Structure 1
Amino acid sequence: MGKYLEILKNKHFRYFVLAYTLLDLGKKLSWVALSWFVYEITGSTYSTGIIITVTTLAPILASIFVGNILDRYNRRTIMIWANSLRGLSLLFIPVMYWFDLLTVSFIAFIMFINGILSVFTSVGAFTILPSFVKKDDLEVANAVSQMSVQTGYLIGPAIGGFLTALFGAPITILINVICFLFASFLYYLISDEAFNKGRKINNSEDSTIMDNVKSFWMETKEGFKFLWSYPVLISIPFITFFFNLTYAPLEPVLSGYVSTTLNSGPEALGTLWTIFAVGSFFGAFLYVKLDKKFTYSIALGSTIFLWGAAATVLGFSPTIYISFIIMFFGGIVYAPYNIIAPTLEQKLVPNEIRGRVIGVIYFISGLSFPLGTYLGGILGDWVGIRETIIISGIATITLGITVMLLKPLRFKEISVLPTKKSEKTG
């Protein structure tokens, strides 16, 4: 507990994590409110699916460019404006509804814009966080961030559902707007020096538009080139790519698993995810307590392997109560992955190019999730729901074993990689 209390004494880090928690909570509120709202005004699950697809794809498409923007310009200013605009864009949905002008196409447009702006938080959180803490405290800082995300999972959907039932979706979205604006205010309270420590801000007033576009494109390509230059670095997004691919089939079949296989209702499905979030919260907390003397290949591979084992056992579960226990265990073993992988990336990538490199990593690793959910839907109808969950688990176990054997990740201590391949030593 001492490590957590010590790092939370850091005012800048405390504001940063609180803003991150508010943004994640707001995302969960809007997710529940919007999915209910769209179905309520259209009566169509297809329309709801369109909104979810747009919201999911926009961040993936934007991630490459957003990372470079975070590297080139004042990160504090970007985070303040991105999240202020994110909140204000959502404000259009209830306003247009009250004026009887709202359409599904307009909601899709707003959520596409919102999805692009959300990348400044998802990529920015991992890019900027190392500026607020010492290198030795990075793992604890990422654990605290991970626990804040799980806090959003724990209370966000429940609060969103309660507010939507009590006040209606438009008012719930309005409350969500306040979350985004308050998060921007918290970013405002953090100094420029803390946000931009160890880097120069691009001041290109004398450059032409074409010069800036050309420079921006060249710097974006540098992110790709740097990533591909080091096997240790390129292995991380591809591990996450395949982990997403093997995990994702579980998500589209889980509602059918609870309903038809375990004969339970929607409240059981919600409880299942809440228990998973509780497990993830404890998993993040406990991981930092471990006396970790194993290599990164073992750390990442064993996490993937154990989640695969939990998913496989889940496929054989006879009752919802046993499923609750399995998902709690699954949350515990799943959580460390979201601490280990970001910490490894942050320690390896130099601060001045961290945004564009992590943006590329986010792009590569995120591509497989929609593909995995699509395959899960097909497999659920083709081979059965239980079978799909078991296949997902076995594929994940296989991936975990493969990662444990990866040579590029067989190390314990790491340092920042040089920006030029020719400077590489050792």
Structure 2
Amino acid sequence: MIFSVLKPRNFRHYFIADIVSGFGVGMSTIGANWYLMDATGSLTSVGLMLSLNVIAGFLISSFAGTLIDKWNRKSIIQWANIVRAAALLLIAAAFFTTGFRIEYLYAFAAINGMGWALYMSASRSLVQEILPDKDLIHGNSLIEISLQVGMFMAGALSGILYKYIGFEVILLLNAAAFIVSSGFLSRIRYTPIQAEQEGERFLEAFKNGIRYLADRKFIFLLGIVSVIPLVSTMVFNVVLPGYVSQVVRGDSVVFGLSDMFYGIGGLLSGFLAAPLAKKLSSHGAIVLFFLVAVLNLIAVAVNSTILLLYAGSVLIGLTNSSLRILITTTLMETVSKSYMGRATSVWMAISLLFQTVSATGLGVIIDRYSPGIGFLCMSGMMFFGFVIYYVLNSRSTQKKPVEAEANLS
């Protein structure tokens, strides 16, 4: 049963902390986009804010993993939450004092990007430490459920709060969410793996992390595969507005519902991925979700009806989220706990780089052709991920009999 993983208090406290901090980040991120559009009416400004978010996350990912593996991961998240809360309070105070200044939102975007990249690497490494291997898939499923539910609630509440009390108060609530999240994290009791690496110098630890992935091409490439669904989700957000208005001739209601149906698919993945992996095997489920994703995206690309867009959005959310759950679980079961932070940071940096290139390239392609091409690009991206995964798994399967024969001889 998926909710049985909440019985141990360590993961229960982590789960609550994850929901609270994620909800706060969701509210402020959505609110910032609305605030900037209201104040400037400039899509260029919104695009620059998104770019700053991604660039800041990319830069911190280059060294965050070494910090995460060298020191206590729980403490890193707590201190990051406190620093982010303090920064948000300063930005809110600046807005209250001087009114709107675009520089404040750009500073918010940079802090948000760095905080998110650091949190993703540290929190997933912490989950690997506090959960036994047999519970990892259920833990990752619950994290995905909390993410989707949190985004649903954050989107709805952010709009109401922004309309009636303003973006400044949203920033204050986000700061409060970080503090509350740190409070729940403080209740987690465990023996951190970092004790093994206390005497290792930072530069040496960084080099060892790169060497660890370089010597394990299977793990490195599997990590690359794991970020493809994440990049696909970002591409979906880029393609959807133009697709709704130009291809299916919908309005803002259709756009909102399409995004909601994506969230429903993501929510379903939390309940379906683990049982399906148990029935088919994790490998079989991953292959199935990749194939469904490829075919579904082709169908959406040639579609011109709103109902099929809604159905396709559910499947996009289901396949992307399920693949993240299953592949992340495989990585947690495979990667040494001592190197999880550095490995995750490398993959996060690659993901952010892919997102930047994809967003820029897709904008040019969509403007020249049509938004439907964006879904074909997503299908190609998922097919590429499927091919890499299938080849990796085939080679891994072929090696096992050879190793067994060598051991017998």
Q: TM-score, normalised by structure 2?
A: 0.90
C-alpha contact (below 8 Å) 1:295/1:409 kept by paired residues: no
Cα shift readout 1:93-136 (whole Å, capped 9, x = no counterpart): 22111111652223322431332222232111211102222111
Q: Where does residue 334 of structure 1 map in the other structure?
A: 320
- Residue 254 of structure 1 aligns with which residue? 240
Residue 61 of structure 1 is matched in structure 2 by 59
The 5 Å alignment of 1:207-218 reads 215-218=201-204
Q: Which residue pairs with 1:113 in the alignment? A: 111
CA gap of 1:289–1:244, structure 2 versus 1, over 3 A, is closer
Q: CA deviation at 1:365?
A: 3.1
Q: Is the 8 A contact 1:63 1:359 kept in 2?
A: yes
Which range moves more in the overlay, 78-87 or 40-49? 40-49
Question: What is the distance in 1 between the residues matched to 2:141 and 2:46?
Answer: 33
* Residue 322 in structure 1 maps to residue 308 in structure 2: yes
Give the whole-Å Cα distance in 2 for the aligned partners of 1:258 and 1:49: 20
Equivalent residue, structure 2, for 1:355: 341
Worse-matched range after superposition: 315-324 or 82-91: 315-324
The SS at the match of 1:189 is: coil
Residues 278-331 of structure 1 deviation map (CA, whole Å, 9 limit, x = unaligned): 111112211111253656655434323322222211122232222111211222
Deviation sequence 1:339-367 (CA, Å, 0-9, x none): 12211221112222221122122222332
Q: Does 1:269 align with 2:263?
A: no
Structural mapping, 1:301-312, within 5 Å: 301-312=287-298
Which structure 2 residues correspond to residues 361-376 of structure 1 after superposition, within 5 A? 361-376=347-362
Read off the aligned partner of 1:335 and give its amino acid letter.
S
Contact 1:56 1:115 in 2 (8 A): yes
Distance 1:327 1:23, change over 3 A: same
Q: Deviations over 1:162-211 (max 9, x none)?
A: 211121111122212211111111111222xx2x444416656xxxxxxx
Q: Alpha carbon RMSD of aligned pairs, Å?
A: 2.5
Of all paired residues, the percent bearing the same amino acid is: 20
Equivalent position of 1:422 in the other structure: none
Quick one: structure 1 residues 288 and 184, their matched pair in 2 at CA, closer, same or farther if it must change by over 3 Å?
A: same
Q: Deviation digits for residues 3-39 of structure 1, max 9, x if unmatched?
A: 2232111111011011111121112101111111122
Q: In structure 2, what is the Cα distance between the partners aligned to 1:334 and 1:116?
A: 24
Instruction: Tell me: CA distance 1:129–1:241, structure 2 relative to 1, closer, same or farther (3 Å).
Output: closer
Partner of 2:403: none
CA contact (8 A) 2:32 2:105 kept: no
Structure 1 residues 228-255: Cα deviation after superposition (integer angstroms, max 9, x where no partner): 1112201113324555566654332210
Structure 1 gaps of 5+ residues are 205-211, 415-424
Q: Which moved more, 1:393-402 or 1:42-51?
A: 393-402
Shift of 1:276: 0.9
The number of equivalent residue pairs is 401
| Alpha-carbon spacing, 1:65–1:376, altered in 2? closer, same or farther (3 Å) | same
Question: What is the aligned partner in structure 2 of residue 27 from structure 1?
Answer: 25
Structure 2 vs 1, CA of residues 297 and 136 (structure 1 numbering), >3 Å: closer, same or farther?
A: closer
CA 110–360 in structure 1, closer or farther in 2 if over 3 Å, else same: same
Name whichever structure is richer in helix by fraction: 2
